[in-house]
Structure 1
Amino acid sequence: MTFKASATPGDAHSIAEVAGNGQTGTVGKPLPDSIKVRVTDTYGNGVPGFTVQFEVTQGGGTIGGVESRTVTTNSLGEAAVEWTLGTTAGDNNNVLRAVASGLNGSPVVFTASARADSAYKLLTVSGNEQSGPAGSTLPEPLKVRVEDVYGNPVAGYPVHFEVKEGGGNLAGYQSRDILTDVSGVAQVVWTLGPEPGVNNNMVDASASRNGQPLLGSPITFVASATVGNPAKLVYLSGQNQTGVVGNPLPEPLKVKVTDELGNGIPDFPVTFTVKAGGGTLENGQTTVTVNTTAAGVAEAHLTLGQQAGQNNNVVDASAEYEGQPLEGSPYTFYASARSSNAAKMQIAGGNGQTGTVGEPLAQALAVKVLDADGNPVSGHPVRFEVVDGGGNFDGETVKVSLSDNGGIARAVLTLGTAAGDSNNVVRASSTDGAHPLQGSPLVFWANARPGKADSAHCVVSADPETLPADGQSRSTITVVVKDKYGNAIPGHAVVLIVSGSGNQVEQPLTTTDAEGKVTGSVASTRAEEKWVTARDVTDAIDLRAGTRVTFTPLGASKIALHAGNAQTANIGTVLPQPLQVKVSDQYDNGIEGYSVTFAVVQGGGT
């Protein structure tokens, strides 16, 4: 006889880890393997139907979308869950525990590491809008950061840096591909180009994924290149000239102060000193100190001494920085002086011209240099100087010209910017080396007329600006026409342009007066705001300037049906459209704010 018996597990005694601990996964995503524990009796048999509590205690992850979940063991005594990591990357920064109250081994603790998700965006870290000397390496590298969608740094990701403007380089290259470090940061050293300027150097940093740029890519870095320290004194022009004794040389002596890369140093002192020949510089001085221009240029004008000779006039130009002479300092200029038989000078043309403000005159100012017998003298210097009106000779107020074979010395005057009669004055002078020539100085004058009408400087105004729309009341429109320098332009024909309808425009009957003014007027029967502008017919220019004129309705004079009449609807219901009337003045302009009483007179409606 055979006896059979079934053995069931005893009471739950212990809980232990089965699988899933120490995994690494991607932030915000489930781990590849489930988290699994086993509940057993004292003999190691699995206990089914036992409740196990799984809880996320660190890292912000979830178990099936929640932080805590209760699971009952299966027939093998096992309980398992899927663990989704939190959104912060880190080593062992996600913690979950399995709790079975009263059992040995409870709680069972699981840890997991979270790595960053795919690259999503590119951010600036530092290095933008720096400045440094042209050609130098900026003090801070350019830094960008690659992050996933949760803001975690993405390490080992390629970022492309490329010089776009300015001629600089990235550690010797025009472009470089740099991998991000553990902080998600890619950085590169930037050396500026050779030219100074504000934000004139540019580098782009870009990154992409699957052929598409990351959010924020490309990032543009800009930098300004400044001039370096003064390093060199460089010759520009004026060497080895020949002039007449006692007269200024035709061209100034010019040098340039630069940094090591040749960029001009502005506002830097350069000293010019007469070393031989007995000549003089500005204001009769033998030594002058001149500050360089914005381009780093310094110049001085030499009037030769009284002795004729080859290279017998000598001038040194010198400059120093922090007590040491610049490279190339001093630079020595030589000039030769010769005698001249010039005795007199006279105006040969160009006087009394009329031109346009800010523009060169049509004819050069001309002076004829003669000897005592009236023969023309060539190669003799004549000094032209602007004394009134603000004009210039190629940007300078003084020009020295040598007479040609016909004895004529010429200078082209660009008029000043103020209009007027005989308001531009130039003085021409010369000597024989000891005394002024007969006739010296000569005085030239010129008239300056306004330029073309400039819309930005013209004015259109109205008086009054608000008036009734009665067709009789008129707003006076004044137009002032000026050129780009603000000079009033007389004698121009102007027409008014008025928006809207119902207008009665009285156009100007005359041209602009000496102040550039002309007037017209407008009346209207249409109540509305109108925009009034003008056109300069003479120069065919529409003026951007304008003014608003508001015409207001007259008193209420009539009422008329407007909408809602003869509708049909069911008894006791509201009509689909409201009843509307229009209150207007005699010209059908609507009257706002007028009280209207509606009253039911038949049918019993409300």
Structure 2
Amino acid sequence: MRTNGHAACALRMVRWVVLILCFSNSSAWAEVDRGALDVVSDTVTTAYTRFSSNRVTGETQAVAVLTNTGNTNLNGPLYLVIDSLLPDTVQILGNDDLTTDGRPVFIADLETLEPGASVELPLTFQPDSRRLPRLTIEDSVYATPVEGGDGIGPELAIESPTPGTLLNVTQVDVSGTVGDNAVAVTVAGQPATISTGRFSLIGLALREGVNTLVVTAEDAQGDVSSDSVQIVVDTLPPMVTVETPRAGAVLTSPQVDIAGQINDIITGTTIDGEDCQVTVNGVEAEIANRAWVVPDMLLQRGLNRLTVVARDRAGNSRTVETELTLQDQAGQRIVLLSGNNQQAVMGSALADPLVVTLLDANGDPVVGQPVTFHVSRGDGVLDAFPESGSELVRFTDDNGIASVRFTLGARTGAANHRVIASAPGYIGEVEFCAFSSPGDPFRVTTLSGSGQVGVAEEVLPLPLVVIVTDEGGNPVAGVDVTFAVEAGGGRLDGAASVVKTTDNDGLASVRWTMGPQQGINNQVATAGFAGLSEAPAAFSASSRVAGPVDDTTISGIVLDNQDNPIPGVTVHVEQVGAVLDPVPTAVTDEQGRFVIAGVPVGAVHMVADGSTTPREGIWPAVGFDLTTIAGQDNTVGQPIWLLPLANNEILVQTGGPEQDIFLSMPNVPGSKLTIKAHSVTCPNGLSQCTISWTQVRGERVPMPPPLGSAFMLAGTLQPANTHFDPPAGICIPNTSMAPGAQAEMFSFDHDLGEFVAIGTATITGDGTQLCSDDGYGIVKAGWHGCAPPPPPDTCVSSCDDGNPCTSDRCENGSCVHEPTNEGGACDDGSGCSVAICEGGTCVEQSREDDGTPCDDGDACTENDQCTGGACGGDSIADTCDDGNDCTDDSCDPASGCVNENNNNSCDDGDGCTENDECSEGSCMPGEEMDCDDDNVCTMDRCEEGGCVNEPDPGMDGQSCDDGSMCSSMVCDNGQCVEDPDATETDGTMCDDENECTENDQCLDGECVGEEIDTGSWFDDSSLTGDVQVPPTIKSKIESVINAIPGLGSISLEEARVGLRGRARNCCDEESGLQELGVKEASATGLLKVKINSWTLWGPPAFDRTYDFGIAVLEIVFDVGVKANLDFRASGEIGRHFNACDPDDTCTFGNLRGSVDLQPEIKIEVIGCFETAITDEVCAGLDVKPAAIRFSVTAGGSFNLPACGSGFDFFGRIGRITFRAEFISLFPGRKRIVFEHVIFGGATLF
């Protein structure tokens, strides 16, 4: 054993020598740099287990088990670092390496540690004895950073909600499938839950209107994929009007067409029966292109009340009412004979004429009388050869008949073309309604989806949407539209071309998957239909490769109406359903440019707030929706135009104005805005707002007008989001439309971030103005305009698509991009490739070698070089810190480091100043420090280190004041001390500055007074009184109650009310004595009620008679349960007021009630005996075998006994007593009583 001990000792010495040599020679280790690794301690658990000791060497073998508890793969190798091992007498051996700070490292050499998987690492512990003590180990776990992925994100697909889902709630659950390699999924910027190949997010917040939900998935290598879906939230009821017959009309025919208009802000380009429902007194109307009609509605003679209910597809509804009068037995009248409710293609003549007759009071035809026909709705034309126009006069023929022909106008709809016939002196009028259907498809126009920027080989966020219209600009349903990829190699719904059929809105759409090549507008697609005589609709898109999420930015430029830059505009980013902290924000520079960093990936809403610009004038705010690409600089695709608002503003209160008011647009003759009385609700809860109406250049509106149209005149009504109910009507000058023609009105909804239809407008009869129809207009302030029906001959904005491989032009209102520069060099935007034009697309031919110097155009990077065909560099943002607390340091990709002056607090290094502030980039000294210590015995000054208060030798022995009137003080070495030579001051009068004391005098060097007595109360006889209910009233109440059967005898023992008032003095240390400053008044009430012999059961009585011939015996039994009850209730309520202490002012009161109940069983037996020779003799026994008496008391109080006491409640059960009683009814009435206490009582609360 001794030999083994020596061997073990020698072995331990060898190990110690090796360990010392290893630790002393750092070159023996590679030295692990923690900073180059990813810390994963939060998602990896470490368990030390399977300890096994070696008796010979004293070593203990163990295993460290590392388990991945997260939901992402960890890239290997993994590193276990032993940060601390206690006790320090134990050494750890067998480590694979050391950290740069000398800590042991154990390395798990594996490629990936999957979620839930574990890996084991062997460890060796060497104690200084043969027994291993209890160990305390602190460790860290690191994973190897991912050097770069393959650029392909996880598979991702949204399953719910489906595209086009319509909701009338503002939340939705989102779910779908995701690849197993996904480590994170976000929905609209919010983290989703991942589980077994699926993701989900519950309760995503939505906004009114179209919501684009973008879902992104990221793998461990940082590669990102995305999917998106558009859904609609509609919580607003539709607008509905009744146009004919007009309210209050007198009609002579019992059947009449009821017609009007309906509009719903959320619904698409048209509204028909699939979008909304209209009923009139329960009868469903026909709807087409926002017009509705109930043909041949049957009326009753006399007054008819009509209830019109409009309901949209989301379930929102609105109700309006109107009244009509039927006089079908009137005198001479006009009657409709034929021609009503015909249908034809827009712009064509009706098959049959419109025919009326005039009848006299006897019902006979009237000959030779004039009848006026005029177009009451639409731009149709009346014809009676050789005359034509919107109004014609015809004379009745020999049969009393007059007629005209009618050609429909351009707009389609249900009974939306109407003609009124009337005759002077004849009761009533008749109205003809005609249905107009669309013509053949004539034009296809790009509606939305062009100009997007997407990720290569991924689906664009927004679909490609076209509208097919006839020659009148009406949407045409059922047209097969062919979408085809023309350049870029992308796919449309998974194919190179696909056919889609237009819906009732004339719309067809398709999803576009980008091709593999990145470039500017290098992806091109078209849409057309068979027989199209014009150029097809064209779409272009730019393709990018997603990068690191943290590098995502938004940039742009803000200009005025004359394209001058606007500095100082604050631009920030919002995200639906998410709270961004901090909010990504930037401010435009002198050139109007901005770059917002830290932008979330996916659908965002960007707001440019012009109110912060230093330029003169009032500048509005405007918002944009866009979908950002990870790691890219994103733009809205055009400058952001703001314009100063006009100075024609008017101040209006919320709920105002008191009467209709009118505004005109400066320098626009014929413009008129009508704000209805009591229609205004100012934005953001403001009580008043200043409303202005300003013209906007058509190409400067925030986004292109809808339906591929151009505004006749664009304007902005500010402040944005001011609500008008009823809507504010508008009139603008007419440019080229015919009288009676209709146009759609659109308003830019800042909440929805898009233009929405707000109803129709009609050209006036004289053709000078376009005015909103009754019931329609601006509902919410913002940009707005009216679009004529046919698509414009000119394009709304520049057709330059930024593609060097196309020539661009405008044709029939649509941009056309034809390939050019075939084979010529072009710039694909990568900066690291050679590209040429092929078929209108800039196609990469070769890439620069990785490491080739380049310029990424970002002033915030350096050492730019090509990597994988893309140009990028190292960030220099960290070098922009100039070390000056008076500047905010950042990096602008356009100009480089920016050090902007701030106004922060700072320290100028001078200890004798305080409240230093930054100014113009420098720390400016604040006010001088006040070093006065209020001690006349010291000399006060400020030195570099701060205040100095030194004794003043010249003041020694001089008098000073310590604030006391009862002492004599002198200075001594900087201190104010008591004068040893001073005379005694006890008994001397003084003032302790306390108004609540009197007879103040000095005592032991202090001024002391006697407190003024304020504790005595004085009763206020004017408030004190006690009134008892008069006996006459009591007796009447008792007689009424006692008439109730079974209640026994009831008596009001006591009933009284009272008033009490008292007051006392109080004292306040500052204001002094307040006579009767404390006052208290209260009202009290007391009620006592007693119920005697209340019968609870019985008493049943029965008797038995026994006849013995010469004698008769009769026995009577009487049994029952009765009770006596005493009830008492009392209460008080009052007010306590203290003028000296506001906290001692309160209302107080109490309420107390008690019930004393004594039920008892009573048995009475009486026997009577009578003979032929004796009188009747009776005797008996009165038995009360069971009587229980108990009482309950409860009550509560508040602010008693003093203010601030709060509420207090109590309850108590009184003593319960059992009592039995026997009374002999024989002479002498012998009585026996038994009584026992069952329960002594208890307090409940």
TM-score range, shorter chain: 0.3 to 0.5
- Answer 1 or 2: which has greater strand percent: 2
If you compute each CA radius of gyration, which structure gives the higher value, 1 or 2? 2
> Whose RCO is larger (CA < 8 A, sep 6+)?
1
TM-score, structure 1 length as denominator?
A: 0.37
